[in-house]
Structure formats: structure tokens, C-alpha cells
């Protein structure tokens, strides 16, 4: 029987990393535990306020977030301008729009991905991210 962490690694590599558009991945449980991180988000749990992330998709919250601070490996803490936010997803870009951030609210946690914010990576990253979220929700 395949180890679950190995299955997750294979899944992430096949669905997100191999496309080349995604540069960082983090999965945080709804209890605030960082379950997985790699790439530009590998230091996520050590440096990010996980509560900030969990509150993004809290149904009781009436106001949407316009600015989000996330630690990006090699860049430090970056401010991301939120461009689109729903009850299940978020799209943001860093100042200068050189790094994009996608977040998805999943049944057992929140998936965050960074990507290089330039064509054609933008479309490819969003498509890969949406497909992974769809698979994880099913």
C-alpha cells in the first residue's frame, strides 16, 4: 500500500509542479496545521499568520480582504493585492505583480499556490489550480 504522503507528493508533482507555472504550494488544515509546503511557500508555517489565511473563507466574515501578507521564500514577507475573492477561492498579486497567489477553500483545508505572474504562466497556473481544487473537492 502506498504511503499517503508519497501519494500526495506524486499528485502535487503531476497536477501542479510538472506544468512549470506553479512555483510554491502550501496546504493548511482548517485547524491551522500546515500539512504540506514546498517551493516559494516552503517556509509558510514558520512565517505566516495561519489565522489570517483561515479567516479568508470564514462564512461569518462580511467584509472581503483587499490586502494579504504572505511570506515567500527568497522574497520575504510580501503584500498581495486581492483581485477576486469568493467563498471558495482567492486570486491576488504581489506589489509589482511579479508573483501571483491562488487560494482555494477545500473540504479539509486551504490550498495556496504561487505562480510567476506573466503570460503564459498565468493562465496555465490558474487552470492547473482549478483542476486540482476540483479533484480535491470531488
Give tens-digit pLDDT for 101-112: 999 999 989 999
pLDDT band at 60 (very low <50, low <70, confident <90, very high): low
Walk across the sheet containing 89-94 and list its strands.
34-39, 22-29, 109-116, 99-106, 89-94, 76-85, 67-72
Mean pLDDT, residues 129-134: 91
- Rounded to whole angstroms, the Cα distance separating 62 from 78 reads 25
The per-residue pLDDT of the chain, averaged, comes to: 83
pTM of the model: 0.86
pLDDT at 106: 92
Amino acid at each position: 500500500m502506498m504511503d499517503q504522503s508519497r501519494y500526495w507528493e506524486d499528485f502535487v508533482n503531476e497536477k501542479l509542479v510538472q506544468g512549470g507555472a506553479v512555483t510554491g504550494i502550501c496546504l493548511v488544515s482548517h485547524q491551522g496545521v500546515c500539512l504540506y509546503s514546498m517551493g516559494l511557500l516552503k517556509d509558510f508555517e514558520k512565517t505566516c499568520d495561519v489565522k489570517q489565511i483561515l479567516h479568508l473563507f470564514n462564512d461569518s466574515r462580511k467584509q472581503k480582504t483587499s490586502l494579504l501578507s504572505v511570506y515567500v521564500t527568497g522574497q520575504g514577507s510580501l503584500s498581495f493585492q486581492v483581485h477576486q475573492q469568493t467563498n471558495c477561492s482567492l486570486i491576488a498579486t504581489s506589489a509589482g505583480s511579479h508573483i501571483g497567489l491562488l487560494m482555494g477553500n477545500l473540504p479539509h483545508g486551504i490550498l495556496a499556490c504561487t505562480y510567476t505572474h506573466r503570460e503564459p504562466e498565468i493562465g496555465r497556473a490558474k487552470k492547473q489550480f482549478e483542476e486540482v481544487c476540483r479533484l480535491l473537492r470531488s
